[in-house]
Amino acid sequence: MAPRLKIANLSVTYAGAVTALSGVNLEVAPGEALGVFGESGAGKSTLLRAIVRLLPAGTLVEGSIRSESVELLLEPEDGMRRVRGRGVAYIPQAPSEALNPVLTALTQVAEVLRVHFPMTRAALREAAMERLARFFPENATRIAHAYPHELSGGERQRVVICQALCASPGLLLADEPTSALDSVAQLEFLRMLRHERERAGMSLIFVSHDRAVLRFVTGRQVSL
């Protein structure tokens, strides 16, 4: 079966000549959960940001990153906007900081849907509400109309995963998304991620410096 993502000979050098990655090769099969282990500074965040092309301007990226039949390193920016969220979704480190503080949870989920599915405003809000109800079966209405500061850390985390998965991405990238959580919230988040991944049959690349966390959510593991 053709890989869902294939990275060949990837090197990333930041402006100022810091080489964060050199000659990285990696493949993820459709539906596979791949763990990438690396100590702090090994280039884990760099790897995921290279895939979704969110590295700072002036960074030199060489090699190949193919997602389905698209070479992401050559894709124009408007094509990348369609890839992000639908082809490849990304949960950054400290995901709750990824939320926009001035938008309600409902609006943030609707914004992602708007990029990928042409619908009226009312239909978008309805679809976003439906997605939130899956992640918050007991209190979706309160969550939907809340701003990030009105939510608990665990609730924000759940909004972020709902947002990442709302357009049914084929591949999810997760950058140590639980490092800021206490152990109970961490376990709850990892369970939810594992369940949603299995339910949707999507591929996952999960990077972490914690081998136990990697074993919990992924099958095969590689090191950077």
**CB of residue 49 vs ligand ADP: minimum separation in angstroms?**
8
Check binding of 101 to ligand ADP (CB under 6 A).
Answer: no
Phi first, then psi: give them for residue 220, nearest 5 degrees: -80, 145
Binding mask of the shown chain, residues 47 to 66, with x at each position contacting ligand ADP by CB under 6 A: ---------x----------
Interstrand relation of 60-67 and 5-14 (parallel, antiparallel or unpaired)? antiparallel
Q: What CA–CA distance (Å, rounded) separates 107 from 92?
A: 19
Nearer to ligand ADP, 16 or 76 (CB): 16
Residue from 5, 28, 44, 158 binding ligand ADP (CB under 6 A): 44
Nearer to ligand ADP, 98 or 166 (CB): 98
- Taking CB under 6 A as the binding criterion, the range among 29-37, 40-48, 140-148, 181-189 that sits at the site for ligand ADP is 40-48
Q: Could you please report the per-residue DSSP string of 167-191?
A: T--SEEEEESTTTTS-HHHHHHHHH
> Scanning the structure block, which residue is given the tokens 């070479």?
71
Neighbours of 53 (CB within 10 A): 17
> To which H or E segment does residue 48 belong?
helix 44-51
Residue from 43, 148, 169, 177 binding ligand ADP (CB under 6 A): 43
Check binding of 40 to ligand ADP (CB under 6 A).
Answer: yes
* Structure tokens belonging to residue 184: 């109970």
Check binding of 20 to ligand ADP (CB under 6 A).
Answer: yes
Helix, strand, or coil here: 180? coil
Check binding of 41 to ligand ADP (CB under 6 A).
Answer: yes
- Distance spanning both ends of the chain, measured CA to CA: 24
Binding mask of the shown chain, residues 139 to 168, with x at each position contacting ligand ADP by CB under 6 A: ------------------------------
Check binding of 18 to ligand ADP (CB under 6 A).
Answer: yes
**CB of residue 44 vs ligand ADP: minimum separation in angstroms?**
3
Check binding of 46 to ligand ADP (CB under 6 A).
Answer: yes
The radius of gyration computed from the CA coordinates of the chain, to the nearest angstrom, equals 17
Q: What CA–CA distance (Å, rounded) separates 73 from 62?
A: 8
Residues binding ligand ADP (CB under 6 A): 14, 16, 18, 20, 38, 40-46, 56
